[in-house]
Structure 1
Amino acid sequence: MNKYAIIDIGGKQLRVEEGRFYDARHLGPIRKTLKPNEKISINRVLLIRHGSSIKLGCPWLNDSAVKGRILHGSFNKKLVIQRIQPKRKTRKNFGYRETMTRVVIDSIDFVDKNLNKD
């Protein structure tokens, strides 16, 4: 909890720490080209906290990156949607699974003298 970053990935903002894995959505189109253990770099970093110092971006931080690697592709739980029209006595059940990509964070990099010292 000493060092973390808030990044924008897959249309959501995630609070990430080094050594942990996260599920990111909307990486489906590039998921077919990315293979497991392939390295990625995320440049849309909104905030970095290192110790007691905090660096905010407007909207993103320059010279910062969160580096990680792809673990595997997976699916989220199935969302079941029911459409019921009571007077017509019709019911429709349909659903889908969201494609997710599991990413493990290796390092949080920021080029600033104030944040790099412990």
Structure 2
Amino acid sequence: MTQANAVSSGPYAIVEASGQQFWLQPNRYYDLDRLNADVDDTVTLDTVLLVNDGKAATLGQPYVSNASVELKVLAHRRGPKLIVYKMRPKKKTRRKNGHRQELTRVMVQAINIGGKALA
């Protein structure tokens, strides 16, 4: 079995969260942009673009109706430090700025479609 087949086996969902699209699989954790939720809370995402139950895929137009993904908030974290350095040559103008993205680590608990959980 190749690596590509190992990743795509089993149920998964492609959801839209914080302006990005994420490929989510059950019992895995992911880092999303900071969510307004406390640690150990359950968050439900309804903006599901695609659901694959391991056999067939259901594609939304734009979203799959009656589909949701349940996430459990594990922790609030910060991403790696990025240095933003702007310089105008020959003008003696320099600006150094740092940035760390605020993240929320979530665990995918269930992918639901039509009221029943896939995994």
Aligned counterparts of 1:26 and 1:19: Cα–Cα separation in 2: 20
Normalising by the residue count of structure 2, what TM-score does the alignment of the two structures yield? Answer: 0.85
Does residue 24 (structure 1) correspond to residue 32 (structure 2)? The answer is yes
Specify the code of the residue in structure 1 equivalent to 2:92.
Answer: K
Same amino acid, percent of matched pairs: 29
Gaps of 5+ in 1: none
| Superposed structure 1 runs of 4+ greater than 6 Å apart | none
Q: How many residues were matched structurally?
A: 110
Aligned counterparts of 2:17 and 2:69: Cα–Cα separation in 1: 11
Does residue 36 (structure 1) correspond to residue 39 (structure 2)? The answer is yes
Residue 45 (structure 1) shift: 0.4
Aligned counterparts of 1:90 and 1:51: Cα–Cα separation in 2: 56
Equivalent residues in 2 for 1:1-118, closer than 5 Å: 1-27=9-35, 30=36, 34-111=37-114
Give the direction of change, closer, same or farther, for the CA distance of 1:26–1:10 in structure 2 (3 Å limit).
Answer: farther
Gaps of 5+ in 2: 1-8
Residue 89 (structure 1) shift: 2.1
